[in-house]
Amino acid sequence: MNVRGKTYRAVWMPGRDVVVIDQRLLPHRFKLLRLRNHRETAEAIRNMTIRGAGTIGATAAYGMAQAFLEGVSLPKAYETLVTTRPTAVDLKHALDRVLVEAHDAKTAVAVAERIADEYVARMKRIAEIGCPLIPKNGRVLTHCNAGWLAIVDWGSATAPIYAAHRKRRGVFVWVDETRPRCQGAHLTSWELLNEGVPHKVIADNAAGYFMRHGDVDLCIVGADRIAANGDTANKLGTYEKAVLAKENGIPFYIAAPSSTIDPHCPNGDSIPIEERSEDEVHFVGETRVTPRGARAANPAFDVTPAKYITGIITERGIHKPGEVRKLWRQ
């Protein structure tokens, strides 16, 4: 996708290093980082240098390939990588594939490259499938960042938006800021600006206002894990947007590759929810916004029950939540 007219992926592997865009610095600074071994790659996942289910998966696959190249204990390297982020199931799927399909360092790198390329191909297909859902001059609300930074290229929730924009359908996007890390304000808006997509950033609490006033035609969000019954974990705040959309008669879609489906997870109550540092709530940048001595709770994700989801867009079509179990593909 575009960065000042030049095309990039969110992660790639030239030689033995893994190269990523440091998402912590966006939107004000664009910097590439070289991760020189699997431990540095694991830390980049853990500290959210990179984030987003698909990019986490592809980066983890490259990290496992690095472990092959380094000649270290593969079980230990696997454990180092798989424990970095608990909610996004693509992480484990990608690591398992490298271990199962690779026989040596050369094939491990090839498998990791294949995983990254498959994400790109699946996202292009989601763009094609999801684009017709957006009416001419349609207004789409999204939450967090499910763009190309989050899933190697194209994005999941943004893929139909980018396709509609390139077809000159007049699409407009409401971008939830997504506190506390503000991935919508920092990342989604930055992506849309680089693509030239008209949009406005709104406070998380403003979504209901615009829905009630008829300013939202549909919602499209991404996913970090989809349970077998169609319950979906995504960035905190997704659940309340889905409830508001249902109340206001607005279609609410999940866009994700089939690798995000977890057939071994029966429902949303079984999805592990990552708890992150209180400081992410206490501070905006270096400025503390809460009283000293106050405590904060900071779940990173919530679960949207299947009953609030209009459809799930994967590379294999648009399906009702109850149909996703049969769609799973690593």
Determine the average pLDDT of the residues in 73-85.
96
Determine the 3-state secondary structure of 3 from DSSP.
Answer: strand
What's this model's pTM, rounded to 2 decimal places? Answer: 0.92
pLDDT digits (tens, 9 = 90+) for 23-72: 999 999 999 999 999 999 999 999 999 999 899 999 999 999 999 999 99
Q: How far apart are CA 158 and CA 3, in angstroms?
A: 16
- What residues does each domain of the chain span? 2-123, 133-327
Q: Which of 90, 153, 224, 302 is catalytic?
A: 224
- Two structure tokens written together for 50: 């990179």
Question: According to the CATH classification, is domain 133-327 in 3.40.50.10470?
Answer: yes
Question: Concatenated DSSP letters for 170-187?
Answer: --EEEEE--TTTTHIIII
Q: Please list, in sequence order, all residues whose beta carbon lies within 8 angstroms of the beta carbon of residue 165, skipping any fewer than 6 positions away.
A: 171, 195, 196, 197
Q: Is 224 one of the catalytic residues?
A: yes
The b/e string for 59-97 (b: 16+ C-beta within 10 A; e otherwise) is: bbbbbbbbbbbbeeebeebbebbbebbbbbbbbbbbbeb
Query: What contacts 33, CB < 8 A, 6 or more positions away?
Result: 19, 20, 21, 22, 44, 49
Is 184's pLDDT higher than 60?
A: yes
pLDDT of residue 328: 65
Class of domain 2-123: mainly alpha
Predicted confidence band at 329 (pLDDT cuts at 50, 70, 90)?
low
